[in-house]
Amino acid sequence: MKKILFVNTCVREGSRTLRLARRLLASLGGEICEIRPDLCGLSPLCEGSLLRREELTASGDFSAPELEAARAFADADIIVIAAPYWDLSFPALLKIYLENVTVCGVTFRYGEDGVPKGLCRAEKLFYVTTSGGPIVRNMGFEYVDALAKGFYGIRETRFISAEGLDIWGADAEALLDGAARAAGL
């Protein structure tokens, strides 16, 4: 059975991004492990946490609790990220999560040429978002796509979005359904 890691950064009750992501998850099949960065105690990296991580990775101790999120990320067969489109990007929670999973020796390593080599098992990463207006430029997906392909070794990324949900006269439910159909859900 496939291991699906679901990174849920939707903090609003009734989130439309979450609804769209749940439709995707239902279509994938597999064992879903949901991570809520707002509830799992992750914090932004600082000098102390960086020093601790450097100690752990230098010693080869990748079993420490601080690296649990990175291990789960590296071990997933499929990764689904649900992140509302905020300020041309995503919620800060996702950045904090990604800082915590981008660990040399767990999700990537440096090759002899200095170029990162992915250590993640996942072949696919889905990035799901919704927005009230148009998505002019999604620097959030661009960032996640660059990490997935350039660090983690995840070859395929898919962007699934429903946009314009809050524009006057828009039928948000129809737009959500259309986005799901366009994604093959």
What letters, b where the CB count within 10 A reaches 16 and e where it falls short, cover 67-96?
Answer: bebbbbbbebbbbbbbbbbeeebbbebbbb
- Amino acid present at 103: V
CA distance 129 to 145: 14
Residue 184 pLDDT: 83
What are the mean pLDDT values of the chain's consecutive 10-residue runs (185 residues total)? 95 92 94 92 90 91 92 97 91 95 95 95 96 88 96 96 91 88 85
Length in residues, the chain = 185
DSSP-assigned beta bridge partners for residue 8 = 82
What is the H or E stretch that residue 59 is in?
helix 47-59
Residue 149 pLDDT: 97
Residue 104 pLDDT: 94
Residue 32 pLDDT: 96
What kind of fold does domain 3-182 have according to CATH?
Answer: Rossmann fold (3.40.50)
